[in-house]
Amino acid sequence: LADATWTTFRIATLGSLLGALLALPLGVLTARNLGAPQPLRLVAKSALDVSRAIHTLVFGIVLVGIVGLGPTAGILAIAFHSMGTYGKLFAESIETLDMAAINAVRAVGASPTQVFFNAVWPAVLPQFVSSHLYVWEFNIRDSTILGLIGAGGLGLLITEATALFQWGRLATVLIVIVLLVVGFDALSRRIRKALA
């Protein structure tokens, strides 16, 4: 049970991190106030929309067929679906920025990379962290479902318990899932409060 819980937590954590890393450049391109070229913005927005439209479970089924059973399929499924949510949240955070600071950095001849790291990144980092915790919390729950299709973790124990009609074992796994989600929810709430 402890090993399955750790696997579930790893799937959610690594998938969330990969999703956030993939979404960051797409979110920057999608943000209208940063003035990315229109074709690039449309491609980035389309990629985020498609990613968000396809459920984690669907990604999981496809990826289990491609990479095989195990946590790798779960991590990639979480990452590909989360990428769309992260990208949208990141773009919206950037679009709420005061453009005066960004224009001031541009006015001194800074490159787009310098503008991002000197004016955009420091201003949106607290919102990015808050968004990451929020999506990560959802992914903890999603990672338990992915075990049902062969990605490992607590979902695999649920499948085994129901197949063998072991209702006591199933109840134990469900209690662990509830405790995991509630514990992570409390932790993320405390971190978000500290950042506010």
Per residue in 75-89, pLDDT tens? Answer: 999 999 999 999 999
Give the pLDDT band of residue 24 (cuts 50, 70, 90). Answer: very high
What pLDDT is recorded for position 51? 94
Percent of the chain, pLDDT > 70?
99
Which helix (H) or strand (E) is 70 found in, with range?
A: none
What pLDDT is recorded for position 196? 66
CA distance 79 to 142: 11
Per residue in 108-145, pLDDT tens? Answer: 887 878 888 888 888 888 888 888 888 988 898 888 88
Pick the more confident residue, 34 or 25: 25
- Is residue 110 helix, strand or coil? coil
pTM of the model: 0.85
Amino acid identity, residue 21? L
Per residue in 135-182, pLDDT tens? Answer: 988 898 888 888 888 777 888 888 888 888 889 999 999 999 899 888
What pLDDT is recorded for position 113? 81
Average pLDDT of the chain is 88
Asked whether 160 and 171 are in contact (CB, 8 A), the reply is no
- Which spans in the chain are helix H? 2-30, 38-53, 56-67, 71-95, 99-107, 112-115, 121-146, 154-163, 167-195
Give the pLDDT band of residue 70 (cuts 50, 70, 90). Answer: confident
What pLDDT is recorded for position 76? 94
Task: Give the alpha-carbon dihedral of 25, 17, 133, 148, to 10 degrees.
Answer: 120
- Is residue 32 helix, strand or coil? helix
Pick the more confident residue, 189 or 25: 25
Amino acid identity, residue 166? Q
Neighbours of 132 (CB within 10 A): 21
61 CB-near residues (< 8 Å, 6+ apart): 149
- Give the mean model confidence (pLDDT) for residues 50-77: 91
- Give the mean model confidence (pLDDT) for residues 42-68: 92
CA distance 86 to 30: 12
Where residue 152 falls (left for φ over 0; alpha for ψ -120 to 50; beta otherwise) is left
CA distance 96 to 129: 16
